[in-house]
């Protein structure tokens, strides 16, 4: 049995690390390299050219990674805490060997905080106690050695982050799930046991991920496809009427009705002031869209952009079809018209109103 403390709990990882061996050692923070393949970065707006074209040892890349982690992932609190009490060995910093140095695969936020503090001390912009400074000269790490691949690393990260202290976003969770399924061959049940989710939830997250990546791969829509749309696609898959309307293909894991898919992309990324219609949020998709698609009249009006989602939902749920609305108005309207002898009896505003109705009727009968 191989136990390790991750996310404040003891976890048996022997079923997942196969022949890997965990070795504890004490190293200088200068030997620790922030991970340029950190799953947190997937889908983030960062300098991809710098990440792809510079070796992990490049000081420019390392400083850039430190700044990204510091600014995006709440490292300021860690810096304040470590500056006060020093580096505490609560959870291990997990590393793998990288050309005489060590790449950090778990603990990048803590290492970024330590590097920030040491840099500030060297520049004499920060003063800490002697005991704190001593605790940062060398820190204990756990090295993962032997046959260690990326999916093993991601599995260890997933135990801590997907169900642990500091969750990744759902898109990053899905990246981990895909890696464990595709590259390690794990079932949804096995993945769920690793990261603390039900097999059904694992499957749903992955389907939402495939929806986002399909949009990212579309040259006409890639610029508008972001991880923020994950919940939109997750809800689209979960709701049967939407999944069927977009024609989900379980073999290719893609939606195949390109016409409806284009409409969906438009609705979730663009407003239409003519309707008027705001961009659909994930709650609209979860609570309203499937109900609208199940009602023929509401579906027709909504998909033709004659009404917005709220109006379509009202039609679908209240049963107030056009004919019912017309019947409720016709009797009183007919009585009102019967009191008018000629147009001279009408004001200019009333004439404009009746002319507008006449124009709309002519438009309908002309079709």
Give the DSSP H or E segment for 171: helix 170-182
Chain-centre distance for alpha carbon 67: 22
Chain-centre distance for alpha carbon 22: 32
Residue 93 CA to residue 107 CA, distance in Å, equals 5
Provide the b/e sequence for 170-192 (b: ≥16 CB within 10 Å). Answer: bbbbbbbbbbbbeebebebebbb
| CATH 3.40.50, domain 21-145, yes or no | no
pLDDT score at 9: 44
Query: Where along the chain do its domains lie?
Result: 21-145, 199-318, 322-366
pLDDT score at 236: 96
Dump the DSSP string for 228-253. GGHHHHHHHHHSHHHHHHHTEETTTT
pTM beyond cutoff 0.85 = no
- Spatial contact of 94 and 139, defined as CB atoms under 8 Å apart: no
Residue 342 CA to residue 350 CA, distance in Å, equals 12
The closest of 6, 42, 323 to 195, measured between CA atoms, is 6
pLDDT score at 7: 46
Tens digits of pLDDT across the chain (367 residues): 444 444 444 444 555 555 456 788 999 999 999 988 776 676 566 666 677 767 888 999 999 999 989 988 889 888 998 998 888 776 778 898 888 899 998 889 999 999 999 999 999 999 999 989 999 999 999 888 765 666 566 566 555 554 443 456 778 778 878 877 887 788 898 888 767 778 999 899 999 999 999 999 999 999 999 888 999 999 999 999 999 999 999 999 999 999 999 999 999 998 888 878 889 999 999 999 999 999 999 999 999 999 999 999 999 988 655 556 666 677 777 777 777 777 777 788 888 888 888 888 888 777 6
């Amino acid at each position: 049995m191989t136990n390790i403390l991750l996310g404040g709990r003891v976890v048996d990882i022997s079923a997942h690390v196969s022949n890997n061996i965990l070795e504890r050692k004490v190293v200088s923070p200068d030997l620790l390299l922030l991970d340029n393949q950190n799953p947190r970065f997937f889908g983030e707006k960062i300098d991809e050219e710098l990440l792809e074209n510079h070796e992990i040892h490049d000081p420019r890349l390392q400083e850039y990674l430190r700044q990204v982690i510091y600014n995006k992932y709440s490292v300021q609190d860690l810096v304040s805490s470590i500056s006060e009490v020093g580096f505490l060995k609560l959870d291990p910093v997990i590393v793998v060997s990288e050309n005489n140095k060590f790449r950090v695969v778990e603990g990048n936020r803590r290492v970024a905080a330590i590097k920030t503090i040491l840099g500030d001390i060297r520049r004499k912009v920060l003063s800490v106690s002697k005991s704190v400074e001593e605790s940062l000269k060398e820190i204990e790490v756990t090295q993962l050695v032997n046959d260690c691949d990326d999916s093993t690393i991601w599995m260890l990260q997933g135990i801590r982050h997907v169900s642990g202290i500091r969750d990744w976003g759902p898109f990053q969770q899905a990246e981990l799930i895909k890696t464990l399924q595709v590259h390690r061959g794990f079932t949804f049940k096995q993945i769920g046991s690793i990261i603390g989710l039900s097999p059904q939830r694992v499957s749903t997250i992955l389907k939402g991920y495939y929806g986002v990546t399909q949009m990212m791969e579309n040259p006409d829509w890639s610029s508008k496809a972001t991880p923020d749309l994950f919940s939109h696609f997750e809800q689209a898959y979960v709701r049967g009427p939407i999944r069927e309307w977009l024609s989900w293909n379980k073999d290719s894991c893609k939606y195949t009705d390109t016409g409806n898919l284009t409409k969906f992309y438009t609705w979730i990324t663009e407003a239409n002031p003519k309707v008027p219609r705001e961009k659909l949020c994930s709650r609209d998709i979860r609570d309203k869209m499937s109900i609208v698609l199940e009602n023929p009249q509401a579906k027709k009006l909504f998909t033709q952009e004659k009404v917005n989602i709220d109006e379509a939902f009202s039609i679908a749920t209240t049963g107030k079809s056009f004919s019912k609305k017309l019947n409720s108005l016709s009797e009183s309207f007919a009585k009102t018209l019967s009191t008018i002898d000629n147009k001279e009896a009408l004001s200019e505003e009333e004439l404009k109103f009746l002319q507008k109705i006449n124009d709309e009727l002519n438009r309908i009968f002309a079709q």
